[in-house]
Amino acid sequence: MGREAGAGNAVAGPVGLARSAGFPEAEWSDDGILDGRLRLLQPRRGHRFGHDAILLAAATPALAGERAVELGAGVGAAALALAWRVPGLHLTMIEIDPALVGAATENAARNGLADRVAAVRLDVAAPLAAFVEAELPPGVAARVLMNPPFNDPGTLSASPDPARRRAHVAVSQGETPLLDVWIGAAARLLRPGGTLSLIWPAAGLGAVLARLSDGFGGIGLVPVHGKDGQPAIRVLVRATKGGRAPLALLPGLVLADAAGRPTAAAEAVLRHGTALPLAAP
């Protein structure tokens, strides 16, 4: 789990695609996701994708012809997995780190998705004018997905690597908690009836529900358990802007059995790109 992917998380696939000269092998690894159906360049140090990105994509509803936006896209793992699953979906990846924006752009191109997936350099906390300048005005999206930084800087040692620290550690924007900033940006981007999908630590679900109570409804939840019989470690959340349906707690997803072997349900999502029930439009 988490935002890191090493040999245990990145799924081995066919030989990597040709890479641009701007991504030297000493600094960028070439990793497969969805059983090698997608090949992604990502930095060897700093922010690296993990299972969370694939779970987020699997929990996001989308239809051909719609516009979706991912906040904090990194190298594009979640966005590209979603675009792969939903042909005809147009997707904008927002990322603040220029190196990751470049990698996300490269990854879209090398996987044949550049005609409908693009990356822009933008701070999620940027003012409305910056979003409009990036052709992301209010109400532009039918879907927003995000995996915000969630670690409390007061409970862990911050990484000396700025990119990794920015991707993992939740830092308030002035007087506003980071989660509020990200959900606020999503609410502005979404059209009425559009959906927000996010992944968050299960222990912090209360904060998510409290923030979503303002302007969102029709909330659906899927707990994610690392092993059978253990408490949930993540929760996948889908919320509808202006929705009025009651909260729905769906069956949980168990990633591994008691012996540590991947479950069939986890394999279906993480290796084969099967959508979760939350992704039903």
pLDDT in tens, 222-240: 999 999 999 999 999 999 9
Is 35 part of a structural domain of the chain?
no
Is 153 part of a structural domain of the chain?
yes
Is 95 part of a structural domain of the chain?
yes
Can you give the pLDDT at residue 47?
A: 78
Q: How many other CB atoms are found less than 10 A from the CB of residue 255?
A: 23
Asked if the model's pLDDT at residue 157 lies above 50, the reply is: no
Can you give the pLDDT at residue 16?
A: 52
Can you give the pLDDT at residue 171?
A: 47
Q: pLDDT by residue (tens digit) across 4-35?
A: 343 333 333 344 576 777 899 999 999 999 99
Query: Is residue 36 exposed (0-12), middle (13-18) or buried (19+ Cβ within 10 Å)?
Result: middle
Average pLDDT, the chain: 88
What does the DSSP 8-state code read for residue 252? P
Is 260 part of a structural domain of the chain?
yes
Give the pLDDT band of residue 1 (cuts 50, 70, 90).
Answer: low
Q: pLDDT by residue (tens digit) across 159-195?
A: 444 444 444 444 455 567 999 999 999 999 999 999 9
**Residue 218, φ and ψ in degrees, nearest 5:** 55, 40
End-to-end CA distance of the chain: 26
Can you give the pLDDT at residue 124?
A: 97
Can you give the pLDDT at residue 175?
A: 62
Is 63 part of a structural domain of the chain?
yes
Q: Per-residue pLDDT averaged across 30-50, rounded?
A: 94
Q: Per-residue pLDDT averaged across 119-138, rounded?
A: 98
Q: Which residues have a Cβ under 8 Å from the Cβ of 43 and sit 6 or more positions away? A: 27, 28, 29, 75, 99, 100, 103, 163
Distance CA 146, CA 161 (A): 22
Q: Per-residue pLDDT averaged across 255-262, rounded?
A: 95
Asked if the model's pLDDT at residue 153 lies above 60, the reply is: no
Q: pTM, whole model, 2 decimals? A: 0.87
Is 247 part of a structural domain of the chain?
yes
Any long-range contacts for 125-128 (C-beta under 8 Å, 24+ apart)?
Answer: 125/173, 125/181, 125/185, 128/188
Indicate the angle between helix axes 178-189 and 205-212, nearest 10 degrees.
40
**Residue 177, φ and ψ in degrees, nearest 5:** -55, 145
Is 42 part of a structural domain of the chain?
no
Domain count, the chain: 1
Range of the domain at 137: 51-279
Q: Per-residue pLDDT averaged across 257-272, rounded?
A: 96
Query: Is residue 267 exposed (0-12), middle (13-18) or buried (19+ Cβ within 10 Å)?
Result: middle
Is 16 part of a structural domain of the chain?
no
Token pair of 79 as six digits? 């966005």
Distance CA 157, CA 256 (A): 29
**Residue 140, φ and ψ in degrees, nearest 5:** -75, -25
- CATH number, domain containing residue 196: 3.40.50.150
